[in-house]
Amino acid sequence: KGKNSTIFFCQNCGYESSKWMGQCPGCREWNTFVEETVSRQSRGGVSSSPGERRGRVLPTILAEVDVREEDKLVTGIGELDQVLGGGIVRGSLTLVGGDPGIGKSTLLLQVCHNLADSGHNVLYISGEESLAQIKMRADRIGEFSSRMLLLCETNLETISEVIRSGKPEAVIIDSIQTMYNETVSAAPGSVSQVRESTGVLLQLAKGLGVSVFIVGHVTKDGTVAGPRVLEHMVDAVLYFEGDRHASYRILRGVKNRFGSTNEIGVFEMQEKGLAEVKNASEYMLNGRPENASGSVVVCTMEGTRPLLVEIQALVCHSSFGIPRRQTTGTDFNRVNLLMAVLEKRSGVQLASCDAYVNITGGIKIAEPAIDLGIVIAVLSSFKNCILSTRLAAFGEVGLSGEVRGVSMAKNRVTEAEKMGFDTCIVPWVCAEECRKGSRIKVIGVKTVQDVIDVLF
Ligand code: TYD
Ligand code: MG
């Protein structure tokens, strides 16, 4: 019999500790530790322990392993296929995370619909909704082929049996936080339960060559373990982002063992489920203000895809001693740093100003290439100077106020040109490359002072 012991887990990242801690050393979140009972026997279920396999195991010659490209299941949802790197790899385990209500179940139901239509057997397992509820949702999406099977179940043992006997090609688990494994004493949704359950699914996926999708809710209050706990166990991690109250949704690949990461897919939630947004730049720039200061468009790259987004800044005199700074969609410290650079290198008096910087469209961007856009938006608002709506910019800004080169400059300029922009401000070192074969006016800048001279 295994020994039972209690361990404290961080509900956010899965950090383990023998005692309770206020702040997690792993992810720096506060108040995320909860106590769980774990039986030592069942822990570490992912890798088979040495004693488990008695027979002789022989390594395989790498060159002789055959991989078939057609082994990818194409979902027919272009944006999703792109994020996945061309389709669903057989035997892969994919985690789809996101806030409740963002559209995870809807997207996966659409995946099932398309796969079933193209002749694949799929099984949708829900621990959250009843058959009737799923049917109601499915009716909005369309007619389903008889290859699409439903199961409402939370016991993994039963689920394993159904998968083993039915041999579907793709399985959806909605959601991992509702599943439980009888060998683990902790409650469903706890870190150890979620991990063990994923371990079981991983073995099913690899053993039977079934592609498994796991839905994981992201929860802020820490009542159930977040999907981050599982990130290292699965083959691919996709996160659904976007404002729940707005209609667009961004599906971002943050990990992919079979393709490039940081690809994004853009969707719009409509009456009949999620629709792909083919021209993401146009979508992101929808409803741009005209004749307003503090707004500029930047060309950012999301994986291999160029994307134009609007950056807005509002700079005004602070009525209090300590100026207020706030950012949405980008790094707060980065904005503060860029404002300090402007102050020090170009003498722009920002120290006593409140500043709000916003990336519109609900998208989060961490790429340094948007630095120049932030700088221009802040300057535009500070000087109350309206910029042309057909101006785009990109470039990284260094601490000396220098504008540094960024990758894939040409792609960014091409996207701007395609979207009808007439001027693009780029780092000096990229200007030559960007001018080749493009009709758009390319202005190369070396420092933020150059930017001020050119624009203001
Ligand atoms: P859902 O897929 O249930 O979210 P999750 O599984 O991530 O919790 O998304 C549900 C939301 O989407 C809900 O607010 C209703 C909306 N919705 C539509 O607007 N159109 C549709 O066709 C469907 C199926 C849902
Ligand atoms: Mg759901």
> pLDDT tens-digit profile of 403-434?
999 999 999 999 999 888 999 999 999 999 99
Residue 220's pLDDT band, with cuts at 50, 70 and 90, is low
Measuring from each residue's beta carbon to the nearest atom of ligand 1, which residues come in under 6 Å? 98, 100-106, 137, 140, 269, 271-273
State yes or no: 100 annotated in a binding site: yes
Closest ligand 1 atom, residue 102 Cα: 7
Nearest Cα residue to atom 11 of ligand 1? 101
Q: Which atom of ligand 1 is nearest to the CA of 100?
A: 8
pLDDT interval class at 221 (50, 70, 90): low
Between the ranges 4-18, 156-170, 295-309, where is the mean pLDDT highest?
A: 156-170
99 is in an annotated binding site: yes
DSSP state string for 172-196: EEE-GGG-B-TT--SPTTSHHHHHH
Cis bond before residue 118 (omega within 30° of 0)? no
- Quick one: pLDDT at residue 49? 44
Query: Locate tokens 């030559």: which residue?
Result: 432
Closest ligand 1 atom to the C-alpha of 106?
A: 2
174 CA: nearest ligand 1 atom: 6
State mean pLDDT over 190-219.
Answer: 90
383 is in an annotated binding site: no
* Cβ contacts of 300-304, under 8 Å, gap ≥ 24: 300/365, 300/367, 300/369, 300/370, 300/394, 300/412, 301/367, 301/369, 301/407, 301/408, 301/411, 301/412, 302/252, 302/262, 302/263, 302/264, 303/253, 303/260, 303/261, 303/262, 303/263, 303/264, 304/260, 304/263
Distance CA 403, CA 372 (A): 8
Q: 96 C-alpha vs ligand 1 centroid, how far in Å?
A: 15
The complex's ipTM? 0.96
**How far does residue 95's CA lie from ligand 1's centre (Å)?**
18
* Model pLDDT for residues 171-203, shown as the tens digit of each residue: 999 989 999 988 888 888 888 889 999 999 999
Q: Say whether 418 counts as a known binding-site residue.
A: no
Q: Are 187 and 193 in contact (CB under 8 A)?
A: yes
**Nearest residue (CA) to ligand 1, atom 13:** 101
With a cut of 50, say whether residue 315 has pLDDT above it.
yes
pLDDT (average), residues 318-340: 92
Question: Going along 225-271, which residue ranges are E strands?
Answer: 236-241, 248-256, 264-270
Q: Which fold has domain 71-278?
A: Rossmann fold (3.40.50)
Query: Does residue 255 have a known ligand-binding role?
Result: no
Amino acid at 369: A
- Predicted confidence at residue 390, as pLDDT, reads 92
In the prediction, which pLDDT does 48 show?
Answer: 45
Report the alpha-carbon distance of residue 236 to residue 254 in Å, rounded: 8
Q: What percent of the chain lies above the pLDDT cut of 70?
A: 93
pLDDT band at 68 (very low <50, low <70, confident <90, very high): low
Measured at the alpha carbon of residue 216, what is the angle toward residues 110 and 242, in degrees to the nearest 5?
70
Domain residue ranges of the chain, discontinuous segments joined by +: 1-41, 71-278, 283-455
114 C-alpha vs ligand 2 centroid, how far in Å? 18
Q: What is the pTM of this model?
A: 0.77
The mean pLDDT of 44-70, rounded to a whole number, is 64
Confidence of residue 54 (pLDDT cuts 50, 70, 90): low
CATH domain 283-455 topology: Ribosomal Protein S5; domain 2 (3.30.230)
Higher-confidence residue of 48 and 96: namely: 96
* 266-274 LR contacts (CB < 8 Å, sep 24+): 266/79, 267/79, 267/103, 267/107, 269/103, 269/106, 271/140, 272/140, 272/141, 272/142, 273/106, 273/107, 273/109, 273/110, 273/140, 273/141, 274/77, 274/103, 274/106, 274/107, 274/110, 274/249
pLDDT tens for 333-368 read 999 999 999 999 999 999 999 999 999 877 888 899
